[in-house]
């Protein structure tokens, strides 16, 4: 549930020789100096965090992908998070040979909450489902060549194909909410009521809330996602001038199912040919030896069960409910002072009842 993290702490008099490079500037009017030194590793095989030091402010900043640091996607469990933070602490200690506070105590200025699903039929179909979605006060654009991003100065919401980047087998869809400095400040003040430290922002209930909030806004939280309009767009993208014929045959299959070959609406040869094309392109799936048109996608499920178990353990009960604590204590341990989206509340209550 966590990826890129940017945080800083105060350190006096770091030696410039510790860094790969730097630049110092002087204001000729005031004589004041400013600048920065940095460590940026280009080694793709041995991932390392990036460090920047601002000597006039005595500020050391780190930017790191927690996922890449420990090569673990879909980070959520407390031990995995601890492993990532311990690894980062070890890198910091080795790099600077100083007894610095754990990165858990550093001030956070960026946190990316993310989740990745193995999807069917493919990532492209889910991308098509959100191509026309608009989020208030955010601009929408293509993300690389395989996704969509909604963004403003303080937050980016991305959905894209993670398969190639992560070298994963299958179709992996990534949903990511990148919260920059102003968004982090707002979340801490209005959503979480907490300090903006790394430790506070890595609480799983808070990550779940932000992901759920924006998953609901883009419409991928539903049990079934209506694909009719996105389906027509994708038919155009896949078949070009043949999109009208593709859609016509898809409508016949949708209406007549296994008897589509026996209608007078098209020839048997044409129906057979288009059935194969539509199946190969992912518009038809095989279910119980029947051809079923892909009219709906399955909604995306966030890891509410895992978060529920973690929070239950934190309140010292098996399922979050006890005579001593009750549900009030359980909900409080989410670390969120605003209402969670209804679809998340319903799933959490079901999971609590069945633990």
Q: Which residue has the higher pLDDT, 287 or 243?
A: 243
Give mean pLDDT, residues 222-234: 70
Could you tell me if residue 204 is inside a domain? no
Could you tell me if residue 22 is inside a domain? yes
Could you tell me if residue 344 is inside a domain? no
Q: What is the pLDDT of residues 194-225, one digit of tens each?
A: 999 999 999 999 999 999 999 999 999 987 77
Domain count, the chain: 2
Q: Which of 105, 138, 164 is the last residue of a domain?
A: 105
Q: Which of 105, 136, 152 is the last residue of a domain?
A: 105
Q: What is the pLDDT of residues 7-30, one digit of tens each?
A: 999 999 899 899 999 887 776 776
Q: What is the pLDDT of residues 102-145, one digit of tens each?
A: 999 999 999 999 999 998 877 888 887 887 788 999 999 988 77
- The CA distance from 168 to 176, in Å, is 17
Could you tell me if residue 62 is inside a domain? yes
Q: Average model confidence (pLDDT) for the chain?
A: 86
Q: What percent of the chain has pLDDT above 70? A: 87
How sure is the predictor about 352, in pLDDT bands with cuts at 50, 70 and 90? low
Lowest-confidence region among 44-58, 234-248, 278-292: 278-292
User: How many CA atoms within 13 Å lie on the side-chain side of 111?
Assistant: 27
Q: Which of 248, 271, 294 is the last residue of a domain?
A: 294
Range of the domain at 66: 1-105
Q: What is the pLDDT of residues 152-194, one digit of tens each?
A: 999 999 999 988 776 778 889 999 999 999 999 999 999 999 9
Could you tell me if residue 181 is inside a domain? no
Could you tell me if residue 232 is inside a domain? yes
Could you tell me if residue 280 is inside a domain? yes
Q: Is 331 helix (H, G, I), strand (E, B) or coil?
A: helix
Could you tell me if residue 41 is inside a domain? yes
pTM assigned to the model: 0.80
Q: What is the pLDDT of residues 58-93, one digit of tens each?
A: 999 999 999 999 988 888 888 999 999 999 999 999
How sure is the predictor about 353, in pLDDT bands with cuts at 50, 70 and 90? low
């Amino acid at each position: 549930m966590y990826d890129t993290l940017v945080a800083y702490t105060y350190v006096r008099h770091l030696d410039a020789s510790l860094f790969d490079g730097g630049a110092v500037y002087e204001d000729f009017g005031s004589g004041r100096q400013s600048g920065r030194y940095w460590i940026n590793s280009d080694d793709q095989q041995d991932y390392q965090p990036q460090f920047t030091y601002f000597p006039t402010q005595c500020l050391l900043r780190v930017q790191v992908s927690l996922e890449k640091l420990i090569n673990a996607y879909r980070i959520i469990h407390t031990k995995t998070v601890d492993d990532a933070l311990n690894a980062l602490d070890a890198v910091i200690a080795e790099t600077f040979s100083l007894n610095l506070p754990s990165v858990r105590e550093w001030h956070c200025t960026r946190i990316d909450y993310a989740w990745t699903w193995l999807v069917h039929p493919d990532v492209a179909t889910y991308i098509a489902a959100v191509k026309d979605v608009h989020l208030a006060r955010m601009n929408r654009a293509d993300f690389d060549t395989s996704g969509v991003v909604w963004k403003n100065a303080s937050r980016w919401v991305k959905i894209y194909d993670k398969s190639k980047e992560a070298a994963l087998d299958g179709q992996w869809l990534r949903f990511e909410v990148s919260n920059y400095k102003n968004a982090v400040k707002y979340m801490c003040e209005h959503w979480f009521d907490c300090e903006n430290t790394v430790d506070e922002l890595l609480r799983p209930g808070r990550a779940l809330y932000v992901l759920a909030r924006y998953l609901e806004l883009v419409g991928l939280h539903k049990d079934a996602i209506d694909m009719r309009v996105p389906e027509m767009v994708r038919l155009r993208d896949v078949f070009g001038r043949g999109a009208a014929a593709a859609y016509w045959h898809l409508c016949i299959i949708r209406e007549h199912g296994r008897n589509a070959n026996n209608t007078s609406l098209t020839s048997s040869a044409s129906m057979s040919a288009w059935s194969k094309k539509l199946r190969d392109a992912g518009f038809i799936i095989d279910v119980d030896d029947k051809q079923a048109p892909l009219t709906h996608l399955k909604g995306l499920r966030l890891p509410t069960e895992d978060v529920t178990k973690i929070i239950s353990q934190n309140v010292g009960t098996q399922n979050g409910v006890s005579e001593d604590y009750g549900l009030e204590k359980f909900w409080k341990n989410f670390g969120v002072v605003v209402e969670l989206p209804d679809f998340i509340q319903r799933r959490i209550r079901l999971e609590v009842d069945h633990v």
